[in-house]
């Protein structure tokens, strides 16, 4: 199962959710791969992985035909693996569009299929940049479904609407893409203000069958875990944020059940 996490509104918790949901699922014994597609490489850093521009990465997979398996590295969390990013991805969308003969929006899909990634990992999560560009199109074309992290405000709701339009475009692009919306996830919620409550209700009412019921509450443990370069489910396992991400992980698995056939024996 390959799931992309995206929203063209920045600061909504895409990377935080990608890393912590992946880590929480890995803690349950599933083998999880996180793919970092963002030139800022925040997911890579958050997983405790130190890389340089020479480190085999998603860039080398997309532009130098490196086998995906040769770029995957273990993270600080058992069962959680990473296909890292680095600053070389900064102009990736432009470079992809300069090579139309190779299918600029399908290179990730082809690379993952060639490497048999879905056979080796129970769950794969893709952390995207905020821009709707060819890099994000690659993520959409490679994925089965899409989670949209949102904060309970007007702009984040607009980002959700943009995602719905983008998914419709991608599924009609002639590439055979079958990505669907998994649902929105409310992140960084204080929940006490009337505006926040109203925005959460509006999202839930608009997508009652798809909205994830777990709400990720605002927690000081999140920025602390980022400073430590360690997922909050590992660094502060009893914090509000960690408990919320563990609940979200359980909800995700309930929607996408697989038998955990890759378990870390150590």
Residue 265 lies in a domain: no
Residue 3 lies in a domain: no
Domain count within the chain: 1
| 56-60, 76-80, 173-177, 194-198: the lowest-pLDDT one | 173-177
| 77-81, 90-94, 107-111, 235-239: the lowest-pLDDT one | 90-94
Q: Can you tell me the mean pLDDT for 117-133?
A: 90
CA distance 44 to 41: 5
The per-residue pLDDT for range 193-245, each reduced to its tens digit, is 777 788 788 888 888 889 999 999 989 999 999 999 999 999 999 999 999 99
pLDDT band at 266 (very low <50, low <70, confident <90, very high): very low
Q: Dump the DSSP string for 60-80.
A: HHHHS---GGGT-EE-SSTTE
Percent share of the chain, pLDDT over 90: 50
CA distance 151 to 53: 33
The per-residue pLDDT for range 168-206, each reduced to its tens digit, is 776 665 555 678 889 999 988 876 677 778 878 888 888
Domain with 169 in it = 10-255
The pTM of this model reads 0.90
Residue 44 lies in a domain: yes
């Amino acid at each position: 199962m390959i799931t992309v996490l995206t929203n063209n509104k920045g600061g909504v918790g895409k990377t935080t959710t990608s890393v912590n949901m992946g880590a929480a699922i890995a803690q349950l014994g599933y083998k999880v791969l996180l793919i970092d597609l963002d030139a800022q490489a925040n997911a890579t850093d958050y997983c405790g992985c130190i890389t340089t521009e020479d480190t085999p990465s998603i860039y080398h997979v997309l532009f130098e035909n490196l086998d995906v398996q040769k770029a995957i590295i273990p993270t600080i969390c058992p069962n959680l693996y990473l296909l890292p990013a680095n600053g070389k991805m900064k102009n990736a969308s432009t470079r992809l569009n300069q090579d139309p003969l190779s299918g600029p929006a399908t290179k990730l899909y082809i690379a993952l299929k060639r490497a048999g990634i879905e056979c080796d990992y129970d769950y794969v999560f893709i952390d995207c940049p905020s821009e709707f560009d060819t890099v994000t199109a690659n993520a959409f074309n490679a994925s089965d479904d899409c989670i949209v992290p949102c904060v309970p405000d007007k702009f984040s709701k607009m980002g959700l609407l943009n995602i719905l339009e983008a998914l419709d475009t991608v599924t009609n692009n002639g590439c055979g893409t079958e990505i669907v919306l998994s649902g929105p996830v409310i992140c960084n919620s204080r929940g006490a203000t009337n505006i926040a409550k109203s925005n959460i209700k509006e999202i839930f009412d608009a997508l009652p069958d798809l909205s994830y019921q777990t709400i990720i509450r605002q927690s000081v443990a999140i920025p602390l875990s980022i400073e430590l370069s360690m997922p909050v489910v590992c660094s502060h396992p009893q914090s509000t944020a960690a408990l919320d991400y563990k609940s979200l992980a359980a909800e995700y698995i309930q929607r996408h059940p697989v038998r955990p056939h890759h378990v870390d024996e150590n």
